[in-house]
Structure 1
Amino acid sequence: MSSPTYLMTMPLHAVTEVYGEAGLRDRFHLETAAFAPADRERLAVALELAAALHRDDRRVREPYLNHLLRVAIRIIRYYRVTDVDVIVAALLHDAVEDHAAELAGLPAGSSGSAATGAALAEVARRFNPRVAGLVGAVTNPEYEPGRDRNEQYRAHLAESLGRDPWARVIKVFDFTDNGVGVIHTTGDKVESSARKYRPLVPLFRDLVTRSDTPLDAAARAHILGQLDLAEERFAAILDGPDDPAAISVARSRQG
């Protein structure tokens, strides 16, 4: 593993490519080294819970935990958020949506609103109700059959994030990793992700610039730049599939 100083200067996707999950874990521990011992313990518990729940999950080329670590690290490093509840919720932001039954101790295959409610109650018990509320706000509801899933996803985000500023912060970091990181994805997932996420760029621009979004001016500016970069990459994927130069430019800009 590289020196701590060098590891702290690397873009997160570079850490992922070179050192994998172990490097991201080391980076997370470095980012939280100045936190109070009790706060570091809460974060360690949340990280190991996320690792256990997502142990068999993958995002195309990598363990799913890498995504959760990058989201949490961005919150601390680039946006100077030190609210431990928010960072815990970031680590667990997909736990209820993807593993409600296991988290709640229900029989395998249990799903629906009852399983979601039980899983959120377990998050509240293990951490606190605020963490559970944040996770709940970024957890997708069940989709209605016969309606476009991506449209339902956008409508859910607009409503849920519109009323919860801190959930808004978590979700925009999630989007940053998914949207800007789409260029690191391979196969059919590249185009499907671009089609899913591209219509969300205007929504996130609006949410980030709202007066009640709890980020400073520098953080807002950085996120808006990341949204521009994500849009550039979506355009390279969806509008110019036969334009190698456009894709090359999009790949050359690190996110």
Structure 2
Amino acid sequence: MSFPPYLASMPMHAITEIHGEPGLRERFRLEIAAFDPAARARLTAALDLAAELHRDDRRVREPYLNHLLRVAIRLMHHYRVRDVDVIVAGVLHDAVEDHPAELAGPTGAATGGDLTAAALATLAARFGPRVAHLVAAVTNPAYDPDRDRNTQYREHVAASLEREPWARVVKVSDFTDNGVGVIHTVGPKVYSSATKYRPLVPVLRELVARPDTPLAPEVKEHIFGQLDLAEERFSAILDQPANAT
């Protein structure tokens, strides 16, 4: 499959709409070309594992892997992240939450113990303890069925990222794809996503603005613009005009 020479500068959702998963994979390949061979091998292995784990998963109109590719590409291209552990964590940020049994493998299933812990141990063995630690920070815990899920989600995000500056970076790339990308969603998920994510905008804005969040000032300004855009889109979905009947 051939791609245009300007693929490296195309907006990611444009790549998604025109070229689909193959285009995003090619963009990922172009981004990791700037890394040394060992780093490229780790990043490629992470993508291979994500593709295997999420092979049957979809996000409404597209393969779930597209989301993971966009999160990783955003980290490299827009956030200028060169820390390979952080990018690997971006690629695998949903692996433990969505597929703990597959990731833990026969050993985790045989023990009958904590599948999340076993899955994180597998990530640590394959990609190092720091990657597992970052993924753990952005993995949602089991929810209390007697409390509102969205409230618990927001509480978890705020608490887990409080002392994890690099996990904030992974989470904000994930949030941007979900929030700014809400207009690319269809059906009931549009409203449910806006309801879930809108209250997180000020939380993430404050976390990104902190001095210990390891991003350049101009990158933070870019993120603030994306958060503003997400808020505009959430408002368009959720806020009804005063004269609405």
Q: TM-score range by the shorter chain?
A: over 0.9
Tell me the residue number matched to 1:192: 192
Aligned residue identity for 2:193: S
Alignment check: 8 A CA contact 1:101 1:107 kept = no
In structure 2, C-alpha distance between the alignment counterparts of 1:109 and 1:10, rounded to whole Å? 43
1:116 paired with 2:116, answer: yes
Q: Does 1:64 align with 2:90?
A: no
Q: Deviations over 1:17-61 (max 9, x none)?
A: 000000000000001112100100000100000000000000000
Residue in structure 1 matched with residue 26 of structure 2 by the alignment: 26
Opposite residue 10 of structure 1, the aligned amino acid is M
* 1: CA distance, partners of 2:240 / 2:63: 30
Give the distance between the partners of 2:199 and 2:118, measured in 1 at CA. Answer: 32
Matched with 2:74 is: 74
- Does structure 2 conserve the Cα–Cα contact (< 8 Å) formed by 1:60 and 1:186? yes
CA distance in 1 between partners of 2:189 and 2:108 (Å): 27
Give me the whole-angstrom Cα distance separating, in 2, the residues matched to 1:116 and 1:241.
44
Matched, 1:169 2:175: no
- Secondary structure of 2:155's partner? helix
CA distance in 2, matches of 1:108, 1:147: 29
Deviation of 1:240 after TM superposition, in Å, equals 3.8
Spell out, residue by residue over 1:139-177, the C-alpha distance to the aligned partner (whole angstroms, 9 max, x if none): 000001200000100110111001100001000000000
TM, length-normalised to structure 1: 0.91
Deviation per CA, 1:172-223: give whole Å up to 9, x if none. 0000000000000000000000000000000011001001000000100000
TM alignment of 1:44-55, pairs within 5 A: 44-55=44-55
Q: Percent identity over the alignment?
A: 69
Residues 168 and 213, structure 2, Cα contact 8 Å, conserved in 1: yes
Alpha-carbon distance change, 237 to 60 in structure 1, aligned in 2, over 3 angstroms = same
Deviations, residues 62-97 of structure 1 (Å, cap 9, x unaligned): 000000000000000001101000000000000000
Aligned to 1:249: none
* 2:64 alignment partner AA: Y
What's the counterpart of residue 235 of structure 2? Answer: 235
**How far, CA to CA, are the matches of 2:46 and 2:113 in structure 1?**
23
Instruction: State the match for 2:6 in structure 1.
Output: 6
RMSD: 2.0
Q: Tell me: CA distance 1:241–1:189, structure 2 relative to 1, closer, same or farther (3 Å).
A: farther
Q: Give the ranges of 4+ consecutive aligned residues of structure 1 lying more than 3 Å apart after TM superposition.
A: 106-110, 240-243
The aligned counterpart of 1:131 is 131
1:74-223 equivalence runs, <5 A: 74-106=74-106, 114-223=114-223
Structure 1: state its 5+ residue gaps.
244-255
Q: Which runs of 5+ in 2 are unaligned?
A: none
Mapped partners of 1:50, 1:242: distance in 2: 45
Counterpart of 2:79, as a letter, is: Y
2:215 is equivalent to residue 225 of structure 1? no
* TM-score normalised according to structure 2 size: 0.95
User: CA–CA distance in 1 between the matches of 2:16 and 2:242?
Assistant: 29
Residues 63/115 of structure 1: CA separation in 2 closer, same or farther (3 Å cut) = same
Q: Is the 8 A contact 1:106 1:115 kept in 2?
A: no
1:8: how far off? 1.1
For 2:79 and 2:175, the matched residues in 1 are separated by 14
